[in-house]
Structure 1
Amino acid sequence: MSVLKKLVTLMRGSVREIGESVVDANATRIYEQEILDAKHNVAQARSDLTSVMAKEMQSAREIERLRGEVTRYEGLALEALNKHEEALAEEVAGRVAELERELDEQTKAHATYAVQVARLKELIKGAEGKIREHERQIVMAKTTESVYRATRSIADSVDGTGSKLLNAKESLERIRQRHEDLSDRMTAAEQLDREVGSKALEAKLAAAGIGDDADRKASIMARIRSRAQGADTPAASAGDGAADKA
Protein backbone atom coordinates (compact mmCIF):
# COMPACT_ATOMS: atom_id res chain seq x y z
CA MET A 1 0.00 0.00 0.00
CA SER A 2 2.88 2.39 0.83
CA VAL A 3 4.53 1.70 -2.54
CA LEU A 4 1.21 2.26 -4.32
CA LYS A 5 0.76 5.62 -2.57
CA LYS A 6 4.28 6.64 -3.57
CA LEU A 7 3.54 5.70 -7.19
CA VAL A 8 0.33 7.71 -7.13
CA THR A 9 2.24 10.66 -5.64
CA LEU A 10 4.90 10.27 -8.32
CA MET A 11 2.26 10.31 -11.05
CA ARG A 12 0.66 13.40 -9.55
CA GLY A 13 4.06 15.11 -9.44
CA SER A 14 4.76 14.16 -13.05
CA VAL A 15 1.39 15.50 -14.16
CA ARG A 16 2.04 18.73 -12.27
CA GLU A 17 5.49 19.13 -13.84
CA ILE A 18 4.09 18.47 -17.31
CA GLY A 19 1.30 20.96 -16.69
CA GLU A 20 3.73 23.59 -15.46
CA SER A 21 6.03 23.05 -18.44
CA VAL A 22 3.10 23.43 -20.84
CA VAL A 23 1.97 26.59 -19.06
CA ASP A 24 5.50 28.02 -19.09
CA ALA A 25 5.93 27.23 -22.78
CA ASN A 26 2.65 28.97 -23.62
CA ALA A 27 2.70 31.71 -20.97
CA THR A 28 2.46 34.57 -23.46
CA ARG A 29 -0.43 32.95 -25.33
CA ILE A 30 -2.27 32.24 -22.06
CA TYR A 31 -1.68 35.82 -20.89
CA GLU A 32 -3.05 37.19 -24.16
CA GLN A 33 -6.13 34.95 -23.95
CA GLU A 34 -6.76 36.08 -20.38
CA ILE A 35 -6.72 39.69 -21.59
CA LEU A 36 -9.20 38.80 -24.34
CA ASP A 37 -11.45 37.11 -21.77
CA ALA A 38 -11.27 40.19 -19.55
CA LYS A 39 -12.22 42.43 -22.50
CA HIS A 40 -15.18 40.15 -23.22
CA ASN A 41 -16.28 40.41 -19.59
CA VAL A 42 -16.00 44.20 -19.72
CA ALA A 43 -18.09 44.23 -22.90
CA GLN A 44 -20.71 42.14 -21.11
CA ALA A 45 -20.59 44.52 -18.13
CA ARG A 46 -21.15 47.44 -20.49
CA SER A 47 -24.24 45.69 -21.87
CA ASP A 48 -25.49 45.14 -18.31
CA LEU A 49 -24.78 48.79 -17.53
CA THR A 50 -26.91 49.96 -20.43
CA SER A 51 -29.77 47.80 -19.14
CA VAL A 52 -29.50 49.28 -15.62
CA MET A 53 -29.25 52.81 -17.04
CA ALA A 54 -32.38 52.16 -19.11
CA LYS A 55 -34.24 51.03 -15.96
CA GLU A 56 -32.96 54.13 -14.16
CA MET A 57 -34.36 56.36 -16.90
CA GLN A 58 -37.65 54.45 -16.90
CA SER A 59 -37.97 54.81 -13.13
CA ALA A 60 -37.25 58.54 -13.42
CA ARG A 61 -40.07 58.92 -15.95
CA GLU A 62 -42.39 56.88 -13.72
CA ILE A 63 -41.55 59.09 -10.74
CA GLU A 64 -42.42 62.16 -12.73
CA ARG A 65 -45.70 60.58 -13.82
CA LEU A 66 -46.62 59.56 -10.28
CA ARG A 67 -45.82 63.01 -8.95
CA GLY A 68 -48.10 64.47 -11.58
CA GLU A 69 -50.85 62.07 -10.61
CA VAL A 70 -50.46 62.89 -6.93
CA THR A 71 -50.72 66.59 -7.70
CA ARG A 72 -53.75 66.06 -9.88
CA TYR A 73 -55.62 63.91 -7.38
CA GLU A 74 -54.78 66.25 -4.53
CA GLY A 75 -56.36 69.03 -6.59
CA LEU A 76 -59.44 66.90 -7.16
CA ALA A 77 -59.71 66.12 -3.45
CA LEU A 78 -59.47 69.82 -2.66
CA GLU A 79 -62.17 70.56 -5.21
CA ALA A 80 -64.42 67.89 -3.65
CA LEU A 81 -63.96 69.44 -0.21
CA ASN A 82 -64.84 72.83 -1.58
CA LYS A 83 -68.08 71.31 -2.82
CA HIS A 84 -68.69 69.66 0.54
CA GLU A 85 -68.16 66.19 -0.93
CA GLU A 86 -66.45 64.69 2.09
CA ALA A 87 -66.86 61.07 1.09
CA LEU A 88 -65.59 61.71 -2.42
CA ALA A 89 -62.68 63.72 -1.06
CA GLU A 90 -61.73 60.80 1.25
CA GLU A 91 -61.88 58.37 -1.68
CA VAL A 92 -59.59 60.63 -3.68
CA ALA A 93 -57.30 60.90 -0.70
CA GLY A 94 -57.10 57.07 -0.63
CA ARG A 95 -56.06 57.14 -4.26
CA VAL A 96 -53.40 59.75 -3.44
CA ALA A 97 -52.10 57.48 -0.68
CA GLU A 98 -51.75 54.59 -3.16
CA LEU A 99 -49.93 56.82 -5.59
CA GLU A 100 -47.57 58.05 -2.89
CA ARG A 101 -46.74 54.47 -1.83
CA GLU A 102 -45.99 53.63 -5.47
CA LEU A 103 -43.99 56.83 -5.72
CA ASP A 104 -41.91 55.83 -2.68
CA GLU A 105 -41.17 52.42 -4.22
CA GLN A 106 -40.18 53.95 -7.54
CA THR A 107 -37.97 56.49 -5.75
CA LYS A 108 -36.18 53.73 -3.86
CA ALA A 109 -35.77 51.71 -7.07
CA HIS A 110 -34.46 54.77 -8.87
CA ALA A 111 -31.91 55.38 -6.11
CA THR A 112 -30.84 51.72 -6.29
CA TYR A 113 -30.44 51.95 -10.06
CA ALA A 114 -28.40 55.12 -9.67
CA VAL A 115 -26.07 53.42 -7.18
CA GLN A 116 -25.71 50.38 -9.46
CA VAL A 117 -24.99 52.58 -12.48
CA ALA A 118 -22.34 54.54 -10.61
CA ARG A 119 -20.75 51.35 -9.29
CA LEU A 120 -20.75 49.62 -12.69
CA LYS A 121 -19.26 52.70 -14.35
CA GLU A 122 -16.48 52.80 -11.79
CA LEU A 123 -15.78 49.08 -12.15
CA ILE A 124 -15.77 49.25 -15.95
CA LYS A 125 -13.50 52.27 -15.91
CA GLY A 126 -11.05 50.53 -13.59
CA ALA A 127 -11.20 47.28 -15.58
CA GLU A 128 -10.57 49.08 -18.86
CA GLY A 129 -7.59 50.84 -17.33
CA LYS A 130 -6.16 47.52 -16.14
CA ILE A 131 -6.79 45.95 -19.53
CA ARG A 132 -4.92 48.77 -21.26
CA GLU A 133 -2.03 48.27 -18.85
CA HIS A 134 -2.02 44.51 -19.49
CA GLU A 135 -2.12 45.14 -23.25
CA ARG A 136 0.98 47.30 -22.90
CA GLN A 137 2.59 44.57 -20.84
CA ILE A 138 1.77 41.87 -23.41
CA VAL A 139 3.33 44.01 -26.15
CA MET A 140 6.46 44.43 -24.02
CA ALA A 141 6.46 40.70 -23.23
CA LYS A 142 6.24 39.79 -26.92
CA THR A 143 8.98 42.26 -27.78
CA THR A 144 11.21 40.91 -25.01
CA GLU A 145 10.52 37.36 -26.13
CA SER A 146 11.47 38.31 -29.70
CA VAL A 147 14.70 39.86 -28.43
CA TYR A 148 15.46 36.70 -26.44
CA ARG A 149 14.83 34.54 -29.50
CA ALA A 150 17.07 36.75 -31.64
CA THR A 151 19.77 36.74 -28.95
CA ARG A 152 19.58 32.97 -28.60
CA SER A 153 19.70 32.56 -32.38
CA ILE A 154 22.78 34.79 -32.63
CA ALA A 155 24.42 32.97 -29.74
CA ASP A 156 23.71 29.62 -31.39
CA SER A 157 25.16 30.93 -34.66
CA VAL A 158 28.31 32.48 -33.16
CA ASP A 159 29.15 30.80 -29.87
CA GLY A 160 29.34 27.23 -28.75
CA THR A 161 30.71 24.03 -30.22
CA GLY A 162 27.50 23.38 -32.11
CA SER A 163 27.13 26.86 -33.59
CA LYS A 164 26.21 27.35 -37.23
CA LEU A 165 29.25 29.53 -37.95
CA LEU A 166 31.53 26.89 -36.45
CA ASN A 167 29.84 24.25 -38.58
CA ALA A 168 30.27 26.52 -41.62
CA LYS A 169 33.97 26.93 -40.79
CA GLU A 170 34.35 23.18 -40.51
CA SER A 171 32.60 22.75 -43.87
CA LEU A 172 34.96 25.28 -45.46
CA GLU A 173 37.94 23.50 -43.95
CA ARG A 174 36.73 20.18 -45.38
CA ILE A 175 36.37 21.81 -48.81
CA ARG A 176 39.90 23.18 -48.61
CA GLN A 177 41.26 19.81 -47.55
CA ARG A 178 39.43 18.15 -50.43
CA HIS A 179 40.87 20.68 -52.88
CA GLU A 180 44.38 20.21 -51.47
CA ASP A 181 43.99 16.46 -51.70
CA LEU A 182 42.86 16.75 -55.33
CA SER A 183 45.80 19.04 -56.15
CA ASP A 184 48.24 16.67 -54.47
CA ARG A 185 46.78 13.74 -56.40
CA MET A 186 47.17 15.61 -59.71
CA THR A 187 50.76 16.56 -58.87
CA ALA A 188 51.57 13.00 -57.86
CA ALA A 189 50.03 11.68 -61.08
CA GLU A 190 52.13 14.04 -63.18
CA GLN A 191 55.28 13.13 -61.24
CA LEU A 192 54.53 9.44 -61.59
CA ASP A 193 53.91 9.85 -65.30
CA ARG A 194 57.23 11.62 -65.68
CA GLU A 195 59.03 8.87 -63.78
CA VAL A 196 57.45 5.68 -65.08
CA GLY A 197 54.86 6.69 -67.67
CA SER A 198 54.97 7.62 -71.33
CA LYS A 199 56.56 10.99 -70.57
CA ALA A 200 59.41 9.26 -68.80
CA LEU A 201 60.10 7.17 -71.90
CA GLU A 202 59.95 10.22 -74.18
CA ALA A 203 62.37 12.04 -71.90
CA LYS A 204 64.81 9.12 -72.02
CA LEU A 205 64.60 8.96 -75.83
CA ALA A 206 65.17 12.69 -76.13
CA ALA A 207 68.19 12.48 -73.84
CA ALA A 208 69.62 9.73 -76.03
CA GLY A 209 69.06 11.81 -79.19
CA ILE A 210 66.39 9.46 -80.44
CA GLY A 211 63.01 10.40 -81.75
CA ASP A 212 61.28 13.23 -83.55
CA ASP A 213 62.27 15.80 -80.99
CA ALA A 214 65.95 14.84 -81.26
CA ASP A 215 65.92 14.99 -85.10
CA ARG A 216 64.08 18.29 -84.99
CA LYS A 217 66.58 19.71 -82.57
CA ALA A 218 69.54 18.50 -84.70
CA SER A 219 68.03 19.92 -87.88
CA ILE A 220 67.35 23.25 -86.22
CA MET A 221 70.94 23.45 -84.98
CA ALA A 222 72.26 22.56 -88.44
CA ARG A 223 70.10 25.26 -89.99
CA ILE A 224 71.28 27.82 -87.51
CA ARG A 225 74.94 26.87 -88.05
CA SER A 226 74.46 27.08 -91.81
CA ARG A 227 73.01 30.55 -91.51
CA ALA A 228 75.88 31.56 -89.25
CA GLN A 229 78.46 30.31 -91.73
CA GLY A 230 76.70 32.05 -94.59
CA ALA A 231 76.80 35.33 -92.72
CA ASP A 232 80.56 34.98 -92.04
CA THR A 233 81.64 34.13 -95.65
CA PRO A 234 80.87 37.52 -97.39
CA ALA A 235 82.67 39.40 -94.69
CA ALA A 236 85.78 37.24 -95.10
CA SER A 237 85.76 37.67 -98.93
CA ALA A 238 85.54 41.44 -98.62
CA GLY A 239 88.55 41.43 -96.34
CA ASP A 240 90.69 39.43 -98.81
CA GLY A 241 89.85 41.85 -101.72
CA ALA A 242 91.00 44.86 -99.76
CA ALA A 243 94.30 43.19 -98.99
CA ASP A 244 95.00 42.51 -102.69
CA LYS A 245 94.38 46.16 -103.66
CA ALA A 246 96.78 47.31 -101.05
Structure 2
Amino acid sequence: MSAWGKIFTAIRGGANEAAEAVADSQSMRILDQEIRDAEQSLRQARSDLAGIMASNKSVMRRIEENRAKEAKDTDSARAAIAAGRTDLAQGLAQRIATIRTELQRDQAELDQLLPRQQQMLRAIQDTEARITQMKREVENVKANEALLKAQSALAHSQSGINTRLGSAVDSLERIKKRQEATAGRIAAGAELAALENGNDLDRQLLEAGIGGSSQSADDILAQLMSSPAQDPLALPTGKKNG
Protein backbone atom coordinates (compact mmCIF):
# COMPACT_ATOMS: atom_id res chain seq x y z
CA MET A 1 0.00 0.00 0.00
CA SER A 2 1.28 3.44 -0.95
CA ALA A 3 1.87 6.18 1.57
CA TRP A 4 -1.20 8.08 0.33
CA GLY A 5 -3.29 4.93 0.71
CA LYS A 6 -2.11 4.47 4.28
CA ILE A 7 -2.90 8.11 5.07
CA PHE A 8 -6.38 7.75 3.58
CA THR A 9 -6.99 4.54 5.60
CA ALA A 10 -5.83 6.29 8.76
CA ILE A 11 -8.18 9.20 8.08
CA ARG A 12 -11.09 6.81 7.56
CA GLY A 13 -10.21 4.99 10.77
CA GLY A 14 -10.13 8.28 12.68
CA ALA A 15 -13.49 9.29 11.25
CA ASN A 16 -15.01 5.96 12.28
CA GLU A 17 -13.60 6.31 15.79
CA ALA A 18 -14.98 9.84 16.02
CA ALA A 19 -18.40 8.68 14.82
CA GLU A 20 -18.38 5.83 17.35
CA ALA A 21 -17.37 8.23 20.12
CA VAL A 22 -20.29 10.52 19.25
CA ALA A 23 -22.65 7.54 19.11
CA ASP A 24 -21.43 6.33 22.52
CA SER A 25 -21.88 9.77 24.07
CA GLN A 26 -25.43 9.96 22.71
CA SER A 27 -26.27 6.28 23.25
CA MET A 28 -29.07 6.92 25.76
CA ARG A 29 -30.69 9.52 23.53
CA ILE A 30 -30.40 7.21 20.53
CA LEU A 31 -31.97 4.34 22.46
CA ASP A 32 -34.88 6.50 23.56
CA GLN A 33 -35.48 7.69 20.00
CA GLU A 34 -35.32 4.13 18.64
CA ILE A 35 -37.91 3.04 21.19
CA ARG A 36 -40.15 5.98 20.25
CA ASP A 37 -39.84 5.02 16.60
CA ALA A 38 -40.74 1.41 17.42
CA GLU A 39 -43.76 2.57 19.42
CA GLN A 40 -44.89 4.75 16.51
CA SER A 41 -44.63 1.76 14.16
CA LEU A 42 -46.54 -0.31 16.69
CA ARG A 43 -49.35 2.27 16.82
CA GLN A 44 -49.55 2.20 13.01
CA ALA A 45 -49.66 -1.60 13.05
CA ARG A 46 -52.49 -1.52 15.61
CA SER A 47 -54.39 0.90 13.40
CA ASP A 48 -53.92 -1.40 10.40
CA LEU A 49 -55.02 -4.39 12.47
CA ALA A 50 -58.11 -2.53 13.63
CA GLY A 51 -58.99 -1.85 9.97
CA ILE A 52 -58.55 -5.51 9.04
CA MET A 53 -60.66 -6.62 12.01
CA ALA A 54 -63.38 -4.15 11.04
CA SER A 55 -63.34 -5.49 7.46
CA ASN A 56 -63.52 -9.06 8.70
CA LYS A 57 -66.49 -8.27 10.90
CA SER A 58 -68.24 -6.56 8.00
CA VAL A 59 -67.63 -9.58 5.75
CA MET A 60 -68.80 -11.99 8.44
CA ARG A 61 -71.90 -9.89 8.97
CA ARG A 62 -72.68 -10.03 5.22
CA ILE A 63 -72.13 -13.79 5.22
CA GLU A 64 -74.55 -14.25 8.10
CA GLU A 65 -77.14 -12.01 6.45
CA ASN A 66 -76.83 -13.80 3.08
CA ARG A 67 -77.06 -17.19 4.72
CA ALA A 68 -80.24 -16.08 6.46
CA LYS A 69 -81.61 -14.81 3.10
CA GLU A 70 -80.64 -18.06 1.40
CA ALA A 71 -82.42 -20.10 4.04
CA LYS A 72 -85.54 -17.93 3.80
CA ASP A 73 -85.62 -17.97 -0.04
CA THR A 74 -85.06 -21.73 -0.04
CA ASP A 75 -88.06 -22.25 2.23
CA SER A 76 -90.14 -19.87 0.07
CA ALA A 77 -89.09 -21.68 -3.15
CA ARG A 78 -90.10 -25.03 -1.72
CA ALA A 79 -93.44 -23.56 -0.68
CA ALA A 80 -93.95 -22.13 -4.19
CA ILE A 81 -93.12 -25.49 -5.76
CA ALA A 82 -95.57 -27.15 -3.43
CA ALA A 83 -98.22 -24.61 -4.49
CA GLY A 84 -97.51 -25.21 -8.17
CA ARG A 85 -96.00 -21.73 -8.65
CA THR A 86 -92.85 -22.73 -10.50
CA ASP A 87 -92.54 -19.18 -11.82
CA LEU A 88 -92.08 -17.91 -8.27
CA ALA A 89 -89.80 -20.81 -7.47
CA GLN A 90 -87.70 -19.94 -10.54
CA GLY A 91 -87.27 -16.37 -9.42
CA LEU A 92 -86.34 -17.45 -5.90
CA ALA A 93 -83.84 -19.97 -7.32
CA GLN A 94 -82.18 -17.17 -9.32
CA ARG A 95 -81.93 -15.01 -6.21
CA ILE A 96 -80.51 -17.91 -4.21
CA ALA A 97 -77.86 -18.38 -6.91
CA THR A 98 -76.89 -14.72 -6.63
CA ILE A 99 -76.73 -14.98 -2.83
CA ARG A 100 -74.51 -18.06 -3.03
CA THR A 101 -72.17 -16.26 -5.42
CA GLU A 102 -71.86 -13.41 -2.93
CA LEU A 103 -71.34 -15.93 -0.12
CA GLN A 104 -68.49 -17.59 -1.99
CA ARG A 105 -66.84 -14.23 -2.72
CA ASP A 106 -67.20 -13.07 0.88
CA GLN A 107 -65.97 -16.39 2.25
CA ALA A 108 -62.90 -16.27 -0.01
CA GLU A 109 -62.17 -12.74 1.16
CA LEU A 110 -62.62 -13.78 4.78
CA ASP A 111 -60.31 -16.76 4.29
CA GLN A 112 -57.62 -14.33 3.16
CA LEU A 113 -58.20 -11.70 5.83
CA LEU A 114 -58.39 -13.99 8.87
CA PRO A 115 -54.85 -15.43 8.49
CA ARG A 116 -53.53 -11.91 7.87
CA GLN A 117 -55.33 -10.71 10.97
CA GLN A 118 -53.80 -13.50 13.06
CA GLN A 119 -50.36 -12.84 11.61
CA MET A 120 -50.54 -9.14 12.38
CA LEU A 121 -51.89 -9.84 15.87
CA ARG A 122 -48.94 -12.13 16.64
CA ALA A 123 -46.48 -9.58 15.22
CA ILE A 124 -47.99 -6.81 17.34
CA GLN A 125 -47.90 -8.94 20.47
CA ASP A 126 -44.26 -9.87 19.82
CA THR A 127 -43.39 -6.23 19.18
CA GLU A 128 -45.13 -5.12 22.36
CA ALA A 129 -43.20 -7.72 24.35
CA ARG A 130 -39.92 -6.66 22.77
CA ILE A 131 -40.58 -2.98 23.41
CA THR A 132 -41.51 -3.70 27.02
CA GLN A 133 -38.33 -5.72 27.47
CA MET A 134 -36.28 -3.04 25.75
CA LYS A 135 -37.73 -0.33 28.00
CA ARG A 136 -36.90 -2.41 31.06
CA GLU A 137 -33.33 -2.92 29.84
CA VAL A 138 -32.95 0.77 28.98
CA GLU A 139 -34.13 1.74 32.47
CA ASN A 140 -31.60 -0.69 33.95
CA VAL A 141 -28.87 0.75 31.73
CA LYS A 142 -29.83 4.29 32.73
CA ALA A 143 -29.78 3.32 36.40
CA ASN A 144 -26.38 1.67 35.99
CA GLU A 145 -25.10 4.67 34.06
CA ALA A 146 -26.25 7.03 36.82
CA LEU A 147 -24.69 4.75 39.45
CA LEU A 148 -21.39 4.62 37.57
CA LYS A 149 -21.36 8.41 37.22
CA ALA A 150 -22.07 8.80 40.93
CA GLN A 151 -19.34 6.30 41.82
CA SER A 152 -16.90 8.00 39.47
CA ALA A 153 -17.70 11.40 40.96
CA LEU A 154 -17.33 9.96 44.46
CA ALA A 155 -14.02 8.34 43.58
CA HIS A 156 -12.78 11.61 42.09
CA SER A 157 -14.00 13.53 45.13
CA GLN A 158 -12.44 10.95 47.46
CA SER A 159 -9.16 11.26 45.61
CA GLY A 160 -9.28 15.01 46.02
CA ILE A 161 -10.15 14.65 49.70
CA ASN A 162 -7.27 12.22 50.25
CA THR A 163 -4.91 14.59 48.48
CA ARG A 164 -6.09 17.54 50.58
CA LEU A 165 -5.90 15.48 53.77
CA GLY A 166 -2.39 14.38 52.90
CA SER A 167 -1.42 18.00 52.33
CA ALA A 168 -3.08 19.00 55.62
CA VAL A 169 -1.21 16.26 57.50
CA ASP A 170 2.07 17.46 56.01
CA SER A 171 1.24 21.03 57.01
CA LEU A 172 0.35 19.91 60.53
CA GLU A 173 3.64 18.06 60.89
CA ARG A 174 5.56 21.12 59.69
CA ILE A 175 3.70 23.29 62.22
CA LYS A 176 4.52 20.84 65.03
CA LYS A 177 8.19 20.75 64.09
CA ARG A 178 8.30 24.55 63.89
CA GLN A 179 6.67 24.83 67.32
CA GLU A 180 9.13 22.33 68.79
CA ALA A 181 12.05 24.23 67.29
CA THR A 182 10.69 27.53 68.63
CA ALA A 183 10.19 26.08 72.12
CA GLY A 184 13.73 24.67 72.02
CA ARG A 185 15.19 28.03 71.09
CA ILE A 186 13.25 29.74 73.89
CA ALA A 187 14.46 27.20 76.48
CA ALA A 188 18.05 27.48 75.24
CA GLY A 189 17.86 31.28 75.45
CA ALA A 190 16.63 31.09 79.05
CA GLU A 191 19.47 28.74 80.00
CA LEU A 192 22.04 31.02 78.40
CA ALA A 193 20.65 34.05 80.23
CA ALA A 194 20.80 32.19 83.56
CA LEU A 195 24.42 31.23 82.97
CA GLU A 196 25.36 34.79 82.16
CA ASN A 197 24.08 36.31 85.44
CA GLY A 198 24.97 33.41 87.78
CA ASN A 199 21.41 32.71 88.67
CA ASP A 200 21.72 29.20 87.39
CA LEU A 201 24.56 28.38 89.82
CA ASP A 202 22.69 29.89 92.79
CA ARG A 203 19.63 27.96 91.80
CA GLN A 204 21.59 24.73 91.65
CA LEU A 205 23.15 25.41 95.14
CA LEU A 206 19.77 26.06 96.68
CA GLU A 207 18.41 22.91 95.11
CA ALA A 208 21.41 21.02 96.63
CA GLY A 209 20.79 22.61 100.10
CA ILE A 210 24.09 24.45 100.08
CA GLY A 211 24.30 28.10 101.15
CA GLY A 212 21.57 30.54 101.68
CA SER A 213 18.62 30.12 103.91
CA SER A 214 15.09 31.07 103.87
CA GLN A 215 12.76 31.42 106.76
CA SER A 216 9.10 31.46 106.76
CA ALA A 217 6.99 33.93 108.78
CA ASP A 218 6.19 31.13 111.26
CA ASP A 219 9.93 30.58 111.91
CA ILE A 220 10.52 34.28 112.55
CA LEU A 221 7.51 34.49 114.94
CA ALA A 222 8.78 31.51 116.90
CA GLN A 223 12.20 33.16 117.29
CA LEU A 224 10.64 36.40 118.54
CA MET A 225 8.55 34.60 121.13
CA SER A 226 11.48 32.54 122.47
CA SER A 227 13.98 35.43 122.87
CA PRO A 228 13.60 38.37 125.43
CA ALA A 229 12.87 41.79 124.15
CA GLN A 230 15.99 44.00 123.69
CA ASP A 231 16.53 47.70 123.41
CA PRO A 232 17.34 48.41 119.85
CA LEU A 233 20.03 50.89 121.11
CA ALA A 234 21.63 48.47 123.57
CA LEU A 235 25.08 47.21 122.69
CA PRO A 236 25.80 43.56 122.37
CA THR A 237 27.17 41.82 125.50
CA GLY A 238 30.97 42.24 126.14
CA LYS A 239 31.26 45.48 124.27
CA LYS A 240 31.49 48.95 125.77
CA ASN A 241 30.78 52.27 124.33
CA GLY A 242 33.86 54.41 123.40
Separation (CA, whole Å) in 2 of partners of 1:90 and 1:63: 23
Structure 1 residue aligned with 2:112 = 112
Structure 2 residue aligned with 1:166 = 162
Structure 2 residue aligned with 1:13 = 13
Over 3 Å counting, the alpha-carbon distance change for 1:79 and 1:5 in structure 2 is farther
Separation (CA, whole Å) in 1 of partners of 2:167 and 2:47: 65
Cα deviation for residue 184 of structure 1 reads: 7.0
Separation (CA, whole Å) in 2 of partners of 1:59 and 1:225: 133
Separation (CA, whole Å) in 1 of partners of 2:20 and 2:141: 19
Separation (CA, whole Å) in 1 of partners of 2:5 and 2:114: 58
Cα deviation for residue 125 of structure 1 reads: 2.1
Over 3 Å counting, the alpha-carbon distance change for 1:124 and 1:192 in structure 2 is same
Q: Percent identity?
A: 25
Structure 1 residue aligned with 2:224 = 233
Cα deviation for residue 20 of structure 1 reads: 0.8
| Matched residue type, 2:133 | E
Separation (CA, whole Å) in 1 of partners of 2:180 and 2:217: 47
Cα deviation for residue 63 of structure 1 reads: 0.6
Structural mapping, 1:40-59, within 5 Å: 40-59=40-59
| Matched residue type, 2:53 | M
Separation (CA, whole Å) in 2 of partners of 1:191 and 1:15: 73
Secondary structure of 1:94's partner?
A: helix
Secondary structure of 2:228's partner?
A: helix
Separation (CA, whole Å) in 2 of partners of 1:225 and 1:38: 107
Separation (CA, whole Å) in 1 of partners of 2:22 and 2:221: 105
Over 3 Å counting, the alpha-carbon distance change for 1:83 and 1:7 in structure 2 is farther
Separation (CA, whole Å) in 2 of partners of 1:60 and 1:10: 66
Cα deviation for residue 8 of structure 1 reads: 5.8
| Structure 1 gap ranges (5+) | 208-223, 239-246
Structural mapping, 1:37-116, within 5 Å: 37-81=37-81, 82-86=83-87, 89-116=89-116
Cα deviation for residue 53 of structure 1 reads: 1.7
Cα deviation for residue 110 of structure 1 reads: 2.0
Separation (CA, whole Å) in 1 of partners of 2:216 and 2:97: 157
Separation (CA, whole Å) in 1 of partners of 2:86 and 2:38: 65
Separation (CA, whole Å) in 1 of partners of 2:20 and 2:153: 25
Separation (CA, whole Å) in 1 of partners of 2:125 and 2:41: 13
- Aligned residue pair count: 215
| Greater CA drift, 39-48 or 121-130 | 39-48
Q: CA RMSD in A?
A: 4.3
Separation (CA, whole Å) in 2 of partners of 1:97 and 1:144: 70
TM, length-normalised to structure 2: 0.64
> Alignment partner for residue 176 of structure 1, among 164, 172, 176?
172
| Greater CA drift, 88-97 or 3-12 | 3-12
Over 3 Å counting, the alpha-carbon distance change for 1:225 and 1:134 in structure 2 is closer
Cα deviation for residue 59 of structure 1 reads: 1.2
Cα deviation for residue 52 of structure 1 reads: 1.8
Separation (CA, whole Å) in 1 of partners of 2:217 and 2:61: 141
Cα deviation for residue 231 of structure 1 reads: 4.8
| Matched residue type, 1:60 | M
| Matched residue type, 1:169 | L
Over 3 Å counting, the alpha-carbon distance change for 1:226 and 1:173 in structure 2 is closer
| Matched residue type, 2:111 | A
| Structure 2 gap ranges (5+) | 200-214, 230-242
The Cα offsets for residues 85-138 of structure 1, whole Å up to 9 and x where unpaired, read as 44x544443332222111111112222222122212212222222233323322
Separation (CA, whole Å) in 1 of partners of 2:114 and 2:32: 34
Structure 2 residue aligned with 1:211 = none
| Greater CA drift, 147-156 or 40-49 | 147-156
